[in-house]
């Protein structure tokens, strides 16, 4: 088994601390400097036996540093994803955690500028925004990617939209 990235270790520690002790993890001293000084949007995804168990993130940075962004989103993914009940202590050992660090979204002119394996998409209409991460199992076309992001944001199919793309560095 390969060594877990510092991003995933931090997310796992934050989830463990919050689920077991109802406390938010402080950024550990041994956290790599890059996580303490950089800022970026990040998503934390949780799976158990290959099935999604939670996924919450930020498109743009909301915290002082990437380490805090990961801690906050890890807690949210494990306790506040409205699609799931909070993670239980019994599930902690079974969690498969990934952390996606997002590049800054860039506006695009159309669907032809998307590649669902390489880019995530943000679909925006008025104040509604839906996001779908790149390289997700079962999402093979840009049209599917846009349709899912529309549904997530409750954007109608006849509503005018703006499209943005971004890439991620995925940490497992």
Whether 2 has a pLDDT exceeding 80, the answer reads no
CATH numbers and ranges of domains, the chain: 6-102 (3.30.700.20), 106-167 (3.30.1490.150)
pTM of the model: 0.93
Structure tokens at 111: 């669907």
- For the chain, how big is the Rg over CA atoms in Å? 16
* pLDDT 10s digits, 15-68: 999 999 999 999 999 999 999 999 999 999 999 999 999 999 999 999 999 999
What's the CA dihedral at 155, 161, 166, 168 to 10 degrees?
A: 10
Distances in Å between the Cα of 106 and the Cα atoms of 42, 159, 166 are 16, 21, 6
Predicted local confidence at residue 1, as pLDDT:
46
Whether 84 has a pLDDT exceeding 80, the answer reads yes
Start-to-end Cα distance in the chain: 11
């Amino acid at each position: 088994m390969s060594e877990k990235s510092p991003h995933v270790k931090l997310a796992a520690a934050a989830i463990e601390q919050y689920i077991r002790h109802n406390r938010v993890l402080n950024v550990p001293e041994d956290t790599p400097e890059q996580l303490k000084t950089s800022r970026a949007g990040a998503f934390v995804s949780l799976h158990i036996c290959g099935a999604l168990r939670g996924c919450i993130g930020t498109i743009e940075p909301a915290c002082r540093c990437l380490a805090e962004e990961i801690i906050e989103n890890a807690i949210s993914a494990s306790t506040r994803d409205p699609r799931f009940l909070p993670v239980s202590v019994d599930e902690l050992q079974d969690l498969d955690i990934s952390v996606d660090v997002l590049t800054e979204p860039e506006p695009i002119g159309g669907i032809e500028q998307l590649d669902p394996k390489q880019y995530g998409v943000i679909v925006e209409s008025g104040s509604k925004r839906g996001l779908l991460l790149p390289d997700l199992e079962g999402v093979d076309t840009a049209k599917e990617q846009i349709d899912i992001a529309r549904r997530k944001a409750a954007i109608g199919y006849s509503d005018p939209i703006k499209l943005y793309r971004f890439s991620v560095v995925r940490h497992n």
